[in-house]
Each structure stands twice: as C-alpha cells, then as structure tokens.
Chain A
Amino acid sequence: MDASIAGILMLDGVTNGAVYGLLALALVLVFAVTRVIFIPQGEFVAYGALSVAMLQFGKVPGTLWLMAVLAVVAALLDAVDALRRGLPAATLARNAARTLIAPAIVVAVTVWAAPQKFSLLVQSALAVAIVTLLGPLVYRLAYQRLADATVLVLLIVSVGVHFALTGLGLVFFGAEGFRNPSFWDQRFTLGPLALTGQTVIIFAVSIALILGLFLFFERTLRGKALRATAVNRLGARLMGISTIGAGKLSFGLAAFIGALSGLLIGPTTTVFYDSGFLIGLKGFVAAIFGGLASYPAAALGALMVGVLESFSSFYASAFKEVIVFTFIIPVLLWRSFQHGHDDEEE
C-alpha cells in the first residue's frame, strides 16, 4: 500500500466514522436519559434512507402509515389512561390533539407531495419529518410503561422493537436495496484524494449537528432539563421536569439523528431494509468506547471504528464485520481495567 491508498482509506473511514459518531451520540443520549440501550437506532437510519427512495418513485413510503397508526394507538392509549384516572374531557381532547396534530400534518403533506416528485431536498425533509415523529411514538408505546424497569428488561424490549421494525421494513421496502441520488455531484481533488460533494456534506452536517446539540444542551431550558434527567431522574421529577417528556424528546432527537444519518449515507451505499442494524451496532461499538456516557469519547470511538472498517475492508474484505465487531472485546477489556467495578444496584 502506498500513501495515496492509505489516504483514500483514511478519508473513507473518517467519512463513515462521522456517521457512526452521530449514531453513537444518539445512543449515548438515549441511554443517559432513559437507561434504554436502543438497539433499533439503526432502523431509523434505514427508514430515513429508504423513505427517500420511495418518494423518489413518487410513492408514499410505508413508514408514513406506520407513523400514523402508532400515533392513533398512542392517542387511544392516552385516552384510556385519562378516562381511568377520571380526567376531564377537555384534557382528554387536548392530549389527543397534541399527539395527533403533527402526524396528521405530515400525513397530509406527504400524501399530497409524494406523487408530485418534488426536489430531493423536499423529499428528504419529508422523510426526516416522518422518521422523527416515529421516535417519541416508539418511546410511548414500547418503553413508557416500563420506565422504571431494569436496564436488562429495557434492553430486551429494545430487541423486540428491533425485530418488529426490521420486519416492517421488509414489508414497506421489499428485499431489494436502493441507492439514493447524491445531494451534490461536485468533485474536488486534494492532492491524491478525490473528495465528493457528498463527503463534504457528511462532514458539514455532522459538525453542524454536533454544534447544534451542544448549544441545545448548554443554552436551552429543554436541553438542560434533559441533562438533569440524565443525572438524576427522581431529582429532575422533583424539579418539575417530566421524565416522560424527557424520554420522548430524547427518542425524537435519536430518530432525527438516525433519519439524517440515513440521508447522509443513502447516496454512498446501497441501503437494504435491514442495513440499519449493522450500522447502528457500529455506532454502539463507538458508544461503548465512551462507556455509554461520554460524548467526546464516543465520537473518537466512532472515528476509530470507521477507519478500522475501511482498512479491514481493504485487507480482508470478507472478514470486515468480524474484525469490526471483535474490536469490541479489547475495548471492553480496556474499559474494565480503566474503571473496574461500576456495578449498579438494580
């Protein structure tokens, strides 16, 4: 190998690493706020990319209907809950409206816009909107009742959600993979390196998103409320922060990040209905590098995973996944020596 190949592999790795980093960020966020190890994060990636692919054909993506159905079920469950607690009808109606209004708008707009084949940017915005709305609904339906359960139970729930979402992905998008058109076809040459516009976009969006999240957590009340919930759920609740609200918000953010990541990788690789799982798990390897707690360490881990992946696909492409996932063992070993017992009482 010469320097130029190494450079290309490096660039490739860092590009993928940026996306893994975004996912790792989402995973750390969700775990800190809700203690959920969110295995299905990758499904949001696939849903984002494939929803755009469907819109490209002028079709309404199945994810839209999933979102609509989940919203209705959530509204019904909330209503039953409210009735049981004897809340007044006005509250009931207000809650239902709050759950249903955003999904209703997105459904209406998508159904109208899909056959018109608007520009890629409009389609991307729609896909992000659909998937982002799925996040809080998944929290509401799968996790909210179990908010006080052990990490272990929540993890098993995550696996159930992953099963269901992957299966539904097959129903919505079929077994065939899709590759989305690029957002920016410009090419740059940087010495021996060829930089595509898409790569530039991936970097720009990743950095913008990280900055945005930073500002959100540092400067806004909602962001601070999420951080407070992450530090101490009970304490946050005593301060008037709704932990349910915090859970929904963190899942919304995770879904948003997932969908966005899907848009970013959509043009660089063929995405299948089940591609998200492996992508999400690589985000996990990165998140574990940060002990599911540190954002900067998770980002660093993500870059390492990306680079390791691109180099191993060059040297031993058949064993790429084996190498990447076996990487978790030394990472865990290093963490266990670093931190020893951080045993939690459950």
Chain B
Amino acid sequence: MGVRRIALAVFVVILALVPVLTPENKEFWITQANYIGLYTLVVFGLVLLTGVAGLTSFGQAAFVGLGAYSAAYLTLTYGVSPWLTVWIGLAFTAVASLVLAWVTLRMSGHYLPLATIAWGLSLFYLLGNLDFLGKYDGLLGIPALNFFGKPLNTGRSFFYLLWTIVVLAAIGMAHLLDSRAGRAMRAVKGGSTMAEAMGVDTFRVKVTAFVLAALLASVSGWLFAHFQRTVNPSPFGLNMGIEYLFMAVLGGIGHVWGALVGAGVVQVLKDQLQVLLPKLMGSSGNYEVIVFGVLLVLMLQYARDGLWSFVDSLLPRQRRKVDWADAPTLPTRLRPTHGEVVLDVRDARKEFGGLVAVNDVSFQVKAGEILGLIGPNGAGKSTTFNLVTGVLPATRGQVTLLGKRIDSLASRKIARLGVARTFQHVKMIPGMTVLENVALGAHLRGRHGVPAAMLRTDRAEERRLLREAEWQLQRIGMGELMHEQAGNLALGQQRLMEIARALAADPILLLLDEPAAGLRLKEKEGLADVMRQLRSEGLSILLVEHDMDLVMGLVDRVVVMEFGTKLIEGTPEVVQASPAVRAAYLGTEH
C-alpha cells in the first residue's frame, strides 16, 4: 500500500473520530466541519471544471441554490421525501447547466464564466422575488433527513452522512481523472485542436465537465437545506459563487484534495476575520471580502498552484503499477492493400482573405508508401496538413480518404476514419505522464465514459489502452520514459512521444509535421527505422520535413511546394535533379 493510500486511510479514520472526540460544548466545530464538507463538494466541481478542463464558473452557488430550493419547496409543500427531492433537484440542475453550457461553450472559453455571472445574479433575484419561495425571507422549517428511521437532526449525526458523500465524491473524482474520460477532459484545457485530432468531442467533454460540476453543487445544496433547515437567497448569490472559486484557487485548482484544503482554510479564516476586522474598523460590515480579494490576486501572482501543491510535493511520487502486461491487445483496423490509393487530394485550395495559402494542389498517397512534402518556409505545407486533417476547411477542392470525401468533416471524424497526426509545435498535456499522453491517442479505441470511470468498471478496457500505449512507446524507443511527466521531456523526446500517440490510434494514414526537428542524429536514425517498419506494415505516411538527408533517404516520392503551389512531384532522384527545386530553395543565378 502506497503512502498516499495510507494518508487517505488515516484521514478517513480521523474524520470518523471527529464527532466522537469533539466535546459536547464545542458544537461550533462540528458545525464548521459540516460547512467545510458542504463547500468542499462544490469546490470539487470547480477543480474539475477549472483545474482539469480549463473552464470556469462563478455561478456554482446558484446551482447549490437550485438544489437547496428544490429540496425545501418540494418537501414543505408536497411532502416529497428528501431521498426523492435530491434526484429532482439534480434533474433541474442538469437542465439549467445544459442550457448554459450549450449556449456558451461553442464560443471561446470566457463566455461561459460571463454567462454564469449573469445566471448567478438572475437566480438570486428570482429566488428573492418569487412569492411561493418566500421572497428574501426564504423557506423555513425544512425537516431533518431521516436515515433508515434515524433522524439526522444533530450536527454530529449529519456529519457522517455528509462526509461519507464527500469522501465518495473525492474518490470518484480521483478515479475519473485517471481514466479515458479524464484524459479527454485534461486534453481540452490546452485548446481544442489536439484533443479533436485525438478524436475527442471537445464540445461534449466541456459540457460534461460543466454539468458534472453543477450536479455536485446541487447535491451540496440538497444537504445544505436539510442541515440548515431553512433556505434564503443570500448563500446562493454571486458573492458566494466567487468565494467558491476563491476556495478552489487557494487550495490548488488542479488537485482534488486542494478543494478540501481551500474550503477548510477559507471557512476558518472567514470566521476569524468576521470577528477581528469589524473590531479593527470600529464598525460592522463584511470586510473579509477585502482580504479575500487581495489574497486571491496574490495567490494567482505568486502561488498559482495553491496550498495543496506544497503538501503534494511532500508526499512521494508514486509510479503507476504495471498491471496491464497480460491484457489482451486492442483490435486493429483492416489495412488497405498495398498500393491502393489512401489519400487523394484534388485541387485543394485555401484562401485567407486575399492570400492564397494553398493553390489548387493535388497529390495522392498510396498504402505502404511514404510521401515527402517539402518546400521552403511559408510554402503552405502545414496549411495542407490542416486541410487534410480537418483543422481548416478548404475553400475549394476535394480530399478523399479511401474513396470517402473528408474535406467537410470535423477533425475528430477524420481521426475516426484512421488519420493520425503530430504537430509542428508539440501539443501535449505536460502534467500527465508520457504513458497517459500516449494513451490519449488510443481514445477512439475505448468507449467507457464518466460513470464507468468513477465506478471503476472501465478497468479491463483501461488496461488494454495502457498496454497499447506502452507498446507504442517501446516501439519508438521510449519505453524507459513511460512514467516520466511529459513536461520534463526534451523537445526531441516530446516529438517522439507525439508519434507514439499517433500510432496508438491504429491509423491508416499518418501525418508527421517536422518530426525530426530537435532530434539528435541517433534519434533521427531510429525514427527513420521506425518509419520504414511502419511502411512495411502497410501504413501510409505523409511527411513534412526540412531535413533533406532524412527525407531523401526514406521517402518513396516527394511533392515540392512553393508559395502555395505544387512545383514538382517525383522520386527523390528526379526532385533532386530538378533545376526548379534548386531555384526554389537556393534562388536562381543571374
């Protein structure tokens, strides 16, 4: 058992002893602990949303409110059992968060937080003005929860239910982050191009993260209503929404346990400041927001990883246990027969305003062939890549893959058809291990989603994915480095990792964008060997590269581009002998 597991077990034991060991007259601390638990649940959602998926929300308090008011109103007015209202509240929350996410997440990331501000304000004023919800006075006399006949009407009895839910949620979150669905969520943080190229539906993943965060908030609201036994709009206003985000940033936005630390520190600090500051100022008022505001800015300037990162650096790094050695291999795609046309680009054209970046370019790539795409800088090679992979829509022309038109398809649809790529500027998730980064490439070869990840029913599939990832790494000569953090790799290794990631998708066509840039001679030779091996397996490779020694010694045919136009196409010998190519690279003699 690792140190981290032991730490978790110790924490749970301490938690279980809190209500027993706290003296009768110190009920205050039980209440504090309960509030911390309620807040932690909400902040878990923000960790997922902000730390993992790179989105954020100031409206989490409003979702808490939705959960709390659903519970309160249904129980008081219709006598619905709390064990039922929690689900109704979750349904309301799901609908509200789906609408918000669906409207905003197609656009750049900052529209969601702005929309959540408006949502937080609207709901606050709505709750405060509706007669049947008691206006600003709220609803009173909500019954305590009843757990199999035992009423949870004291802080201590409530404590166990609440913290059981908190610990379960934490474990579920940790499981989620370590899964296919979790990797997809992390992938959307750095922009959608890479994630889409791996076949991740980024819009859907973002919506999922947002809805999940909202649902956690809703559960917290349900608990809140039955703990406080009254609800009114003030704890669900925008200020509280901002405070939740403050907790997440303070604790450590990227760590599940940072949520607990953040919620705990803020709750205790707030309590102390509310006593201390009015004395200092000589009048009452919520002055603690000044401290919180300044602290938030300072945290982001000087300690963006939050408090938990200090704890985390003390705990030993744990290597993932290799439990996939005997997992069955993943099924592979049917490869086209040798010599069959895999990719057919016909008169592809891309205009950016008045600039013609790709000017009616045509070429074919056959199965079991490496085609080199070369040309001086700015010749339109990368744009051609982007047309083939669906990152950019073509202005005109056709791109077909095995006879199927792909020029109007989205990146991830093209990926699904068997096109994998690397990027000119490495795009990876620096905080994940090399192995996990490569496993992201096999995203489309798995199918389990969020619920399976949380409940760990995805483990058999996960082992197969990881086995595939390890195998691809070994093939590329990086098996030794699989437990390393991707961000620690040298540039050349990062490029190789991208190739392994592309191979993990089991592609028919592999597009490599300057794979040898930054590689040492030995590594280049190794790379060339791997490409020859892949070719002999029937894979087609489209290669953009500036290293002519590598290109000319490796490829079957070369397409030369200049100023967006195809200059010449032929075998390396023909191209090397061409005066036009020489002129393009070196200029003409006068």
Chain A residues near B58: list those with CB within 8 A.
Answer: 159
Are B115 and A329 closer than 8 Å at their CB atoms? yes
Number of A-B contacts (CB under 8 A): 153
Are B249 and A326 closer than 8 Å at their CB atoms? no
Contacts A145-B301, A166-B289, A171-B281 given; indicate if A321 touches B296 (C-beta within 8 A): no
In this assembly, does A175 line the interface, its C-beta being within 8 Å of a C-beta of chain B? yes
Are B242 and A285 closer than 8 Å at their CB atoms? no
- Per the CB 8 Å criterion, the residue count for chain A at the interface is 54
- Stretch with Cβ within 8 A of B (4 or more), from A5-13, A127-135, A296-304, A331-339: A331-339
Contacts A329-B99, A336-B107, A342-B107 given; indicate if A281 touches B125 (C-beta within 8 A): no
Option from B54, B99, B113, B287 in Cβ contact (under 8 Å) with A170: B287
Are A342 and B297 closer than 8 Å at their CB atoms? no
Are A153 and B304 closer than 8 Å at their CB atoms? yes
Option from B103, B104, B110, B191 in Cβ contact (under 8 Å) with A155: B110
What is the bound-complex CA distance between A249 and B387, given in angstroms? 41
Q: How far is the CB of A70 from chain B (nearest CB, A)?
A: 11
Which label, helix, strand, loop or mixed, suits the secondary structure of the A interface?
helix
Contacts A157-B300, A163-B293, A343-B191 given; indicate if A321 touches B121 (C-beta within 8 A): yes
In this assembly, does A97 line the interface, its C-beta being within 8 Å of a C-beta of chain B? no
What is the bound-complex CA distance between A157 and B293, given in angstroms? 8
Chain A residues near B296: list those with CB within 8 A.
Answer: 156-157, 159-160, 163
Q: How far is the CB of A334 from chain B (nearest CB, A)?
A: 10
Per-residue contact bits, chain B 287-304, to A (CB 8 Å; 1 contact, 0 not): 111101111110011001
Are A37 and B289 closer than 8 Å at their CB atoms? no
Known: A164-B293, A167-B286, A328-B118. 19 other contacts (CB 8 A): A39-B117, A152-B50, A152-B110, A163-B246, A164-B289, A164-B290, A167-B293, A170-B286, A175-B285, A281-B118, A281-B121, A318-B129, A322-B126, A325-B125, A328-B114, A332-B103, A336-B103, A343-B191, A345-B191
What is the bound-complex CA distance between A339 and B104, given in angstroms? 12
Contacts A152-B54, A159-B58, A321-B121 given; indicate if A344 touches B191 (C-beta within 8 A): yes
Q: How far is the CB of B248 from chain A (nearest CB, A)?
A: 9
Contact residues of B between 285 and 337, Cβ < 8 Å to A: 285-290, 292-297, 300-301, 304
Contact residues of A between 132 and 151, Cβ < 8 Å to B: 141-142, 145-146, 149-151
Q: How far is the CB of A35 from chain B (nearest CB, A)?
A: 9
Closest chain B residue, CB of each to CB of A277: B238
Contacts A168-B290, A322-B126, A333-B103 given; indicate if A155 touches B121 (C-beta within 8 A): no
Chain A residues near B191: list those with CB within 8 A.
Answer: 343-346
Quick one: which of B125, B242, B287 has the most chain A CB within 10 A? B125
What is the bound-complex CA distance between A270 and B111, given in angstroms? 31
Q: How far is the CB of B302 from chain A (nearest CB, A)?
A: 8
Are A142 and B297 closer than 8 Å at their CB atoms? yes
In this assembly, does B451 line the interface, its C-beta being within 8 Å of a C-beta of chain A? no
Q: How far is the CB of A5 from chain B (nearest CB, A)?
A: 23
Are A162 and B107 closer than 8 Å at their CB atoms? no
Chain A residues near B114: list those with CB within 8 A.
Answer: 37, 284, 288, 328
In this assembly, does B526 line the interface, its C-beta being within 8 Å of a C-beta of chain A? no
